[in-house]
Structure 1
Amino acid sequence: MSMVWVVLLIAAGFVGMAWRRRAGRARDQDRYAGAQRWRDGRFHNVAATRKGNITDVAKLYWLARGIRRTPREALPVAQVRREVLDGPTSQALRVTWLGHSTALIELDGLRLLTDPVLSDRASPFSFAGPKRFTPPALSVEQLPPLDAVVLSHDHFDHLDHATILALAERVPRFYAPLGVGQRLQRWGIDAAKIVELDWWQETQLGPLTLAATPAQHFSGRGLNDGNSTLWASWVVLGSRERLFFSGDTGMHKGFAEIGERYGPFDLTMIECGAYNEAWPDVHMLPEQSVAAHQMVRGMTMMPVHWGTFDLALHRWDEPAERARALAAEQGVRLVQPRPGETVSPDSPLQAPWWRSFEKESMPQRSIKTSESAT
């Protein structure tokens, strides 16, 4: 084949991709025309957000070379209780933490799985990207029967392609923010199983009410799809108990409105990890995580989004230590289960299990991390 034909074929490929992107944007424009945060072909936060530019982030990574962002050894997980795996689904609220933001929620006889990532890496590649330093507490095959999967957004550490495909035939419902369901359909998930919600929209799952609520974050899995899908927090309302799951988010005023509309919450699963001053508006410092719990009128707080992947510049155990100290100072009821452990709103505070894997005392804070919540 001559070079002319090679150039023409490459050019035709680029034209085809550009046409498909334009066609996709046109379809999305019609699909999300009534969405609250959709404009100019993208979803937007209520407030302006800073995510940090690549130069600043690269400098911070250079400065953070001395901070141990992974544990000294692989962390074991607790054996999941037999009644969680084989017994009847709990009517009372209980949560089994599987690592990061993946949790098995039981309430009113139903089981929900949040942001399932059960692969070795939070990455599009099996050979590169953030590798978990604790194995998942359960494999997909070991999971008990599920009634639904609840997704907060489409980042790789919250939406794992391999895990979703493995769950496809086992889960009757997938609840997702706008646009994320379209991704699932492209992966082969039956559209009849998918429920997409905008912020403040509600849906019923048997006796439970699920509501997608605001978050302050961003989305995307590639170079050209930034903010093409929505991000959300979630409210789960049972007959007697209520749970709030923050997803990934920076501090925002919407927490107070969530608390007013749906609180108080018996248990909150609040993001606490992957924070830094370079991206102050899309992830929360531990001080902000505790404040968010209080704003939504939470009773017991369970920090998530820590202890599994190296996604920032702080020590791997810093989020747990800071959340624990802050909760004690402010009188916040806290649970900090080991991956695989099951907790309920009235569970006692667990011992700081992570300390047994670190021989040295709690050291320096992360590089350029502010100490005050906004």
Structure 2
Amino acid sequence: MSRMKTYDGPVSDHFDGLTFFDPDGVPPKSLREVLRWQFGGGRQRATWPVWAPSPHADTPPARVDGDKVRLSFVGHASWLIQAGGLNILVDPVWSERVSPVSFAGPKRHNDPGIAYESLPKIDVVLVSHGHYDHLDIATLSRLAKDFAPRVVTPLGNDVTMRSTDSAIKAEAFDWHDCVELGGGIAVHLVPTRHWTARGILDRNKALWASFVLETPAGKIYVVCDSGYGDGRHFRRVAERHGKLRLAILPIGAYEPRWFMRDQHMNPEDAVKALADCGAEAALGHHHGTFQLTDEAIDAPAKALVEALDAAEISQQRFVAMKPGQVVEI
């Protein structure tokens, strides 16, 4: 029996009293399937360069006011979004590794697109789920010490944060909750096709989500991690939230497909997701910083170009980002 602290709350259509589940998804792969992927015959894991620096680096302004939104890509699934006088970090990871231990596990292949020391005062942090490449306790603790931001996260992840560092000001919410952040900014937590865990005994003991940010420049759909399935999660966001100015969509960590299909989109899936959610434009992330799966470091960006051409969608509508790149809308 695990003594790990986990979420305790009422049963719902996606929580059975012990674990969370996606009524329109599939369970995560079993340990047997993990071992088959890692150690089975015929695995073809691309070799990444030891260091692959981005040609970009950003020093953001203190604030962005008016009807503009400034988005700076930090790397992997980490973003700084500035709007309405607020500075919002999404899934912030400044650590060298995304792992339960500091001496092993996936390691950075490039620096964060914003040096930590160049960050403006952070008001809000959004954390999508508990996987180590998204919920980085070391970074959250550093942010808590330096800025004491609100941390908005799906149910149960607050338990993970506070059980490690009580200074992290975590607030937990359910799917479809709306949180007012101030400055005319609000965030909606929306279902996404994924799962979560921090170890082998807490699988799906916390919830996972994507975000729809209401900003002065329009709605921004932030998908930190998701499989595609039949696309219904993306179509439902369009139905529920209407016109989207921008979608941030994952395009990496997708090989081998037999293992990753249900939890991570490939670029072809991401192009379908863009069509389903109907956003005016998209930015591709979740690639090129940490090697979590088997594809080459540049494979997602190349495959995105091919998928857009095949779908007859302009290359300018969906761009694969590099750390340090900035987009203003």
TM-score of the aligned structures, taking structure 2 as reference length: 0.89
Q: Deviations over 1:300-345 (max 9, x none)?
A: 1101100101111111111111112222443141233321111135
Structure 1 equivalent of residue 44 of structure 2: 64
Query: Residue 39 of structure 1: CA displacement?
Result: 0.7
The residue aligned with 1:10 is: none
Q: How many angstroms apart in 2 are the aligned matches of 1:77 and 1:141?
A: 19
Cα distance, 1:50 vs structure 2: 5.0
CA-CA distance at 1:188 after TM superposition: 2.3
Relative to 1, partners in 2 of residues 1:234 and 1:327: Cα closer, same or farther, differing over 3 Å? same
Q: Does 1:80 align with 2:88?
A: no
Residue 289 of structure 1 is matched in structure 2 by 270
1:219 to 173, 187, 196: 196
**How big is each residue's C-alpha offset from its partner over 1:171-198, in whole Å with a ceiling of 9 and x where there is no partner?**
421000000111121122447x322111
- Letter of the aligned partner of 2:68 in structure 1? A
| Aligned residue pair count | 317
Structure 1 residue 135: deviation in Å?
1.1
Give a deviation string over 1:100-137, Cα, whole Å, max 9, x none: 00000112222210001111111111111000101112
**Structure 1: 5+ residue runs without aligned partners?**
1-17, 346-374
Q: What secondary structure, in the 3-state scheme, does the structure 2 residue paired with 1:57 have?
A: helix
| Structure 2 match to 1:273 | 252
Q: 1:254 maps to what in 2? A: 233
The correspondence of residues 94-243 of structure 1 with structure 2, limited to 5 A, is 94-169=70-145, 170-190=147-167, 193-206=169-182, 207-243=184-220
Please state which structure has a larger fraction of its residues in helix.
1
In structure 1, what is the equivalent of residue 15 of structure 2? Answer: 38
Shift in Å at residue 71 of structure 1?
Answer: 2.9
CA distance, structure 1, for counterparts of residue 245 and residue 2 of structure 2: 49
Distance (Å, rounded) in 2 between the aligned partners of 1:246 and 1:295: 13
> Aligned AA for 1:80?
D
Alpha-carbon offset, residue 88 of structure 1: 4.5
What SS does the aligned partner of 2:117 have? coil
The 5 A counterparts of 1:323-342 are 323-330=304-311, 331-332=313-314, 333-342=317-326
In the alignment, the residues of structure 2 paired with residue 89 and residue 165 of structure 1 have an alpha-carbon distance, to the nearest angstrom, of 28
Distance in 2, matches of 1:112 and 1:101, equals 13
Q: 1:60 to 1:258 in 2, by over 3 A?
A: farther
Work out whether residues 271 and 304 of structure 1, in 8 Å CA contact, stay in contact via their aligned partners in 2. Answer: yes
Give the number of the structure whose alpha-carbon radius of gyration is greater. Answer: 1
Kept in 2: contact 1:155–1:221 (CA 8 A): yes
C-alpha distance in 2 between matches for 1:61 and 1:115: 34
Of 289-298 and 330-339, deviating more is 330-339
- Distance, in Å, in 1 between the alignment partners of 2:35 and 2:160 is 31
- TM-superposed deviation, 1:19: 7.7
- Tell me: CA distance 1:57–1:90, structure 2 relative to 1, closer, same or farther (3 Å): farther
Name the CA distance, whole Å, in 2 between partners of 1:141 and 1:189: 23
Q: 1:19–1:86: structure 2 CA closer, same or farther, 3 Å change rule?
A: closer
Residue aligned with 1:196, SS:
strand
Q: Percent same amino acid at aligned positions?
A: 30
- For 2:307, the aligned partner's letter is L
Instruction: Tell me, yes or no, if the aligned pair for 1:266 and 1:298 is still in contact at 8 Å.
Output: yes
Instruction: Say which SS state the counterpart of residue 305 (structure 2) adopts.
Output: helix
Q: Mean alpha-carbon deviation: is it higher for 70-79 or for 282-291? A: 70-79
Task: Read off the aligned partner of 1:196 and give its amino acid letter.
Answer: A
1:60 and 1:197 mapped to 2: Cα distance? 39
- 1:51 aligned partner, one-letter code: K
The separation in 1 between residues aligned to 2:98 and 2:157, in whole angstroms, is 17
Aligned-pair Cα RMSD in Å: 2.2
2:238 counterpart SS class: helix
Give the Cα separation in 1 of the matches to 2:28 and 2:303.
23
Query: What amino acid is aligned across from residue 42 of structure 1 in structure 2?
Result: T
1:322–1:263 Cα change, 3 Å: farther
- What is the CA–CA distance in structure 1 between the aligned matches of 2:63 and 2:210, rounded to whole Å? 29
Query: 1:263: Cα distance to partner?
Result: 3.0
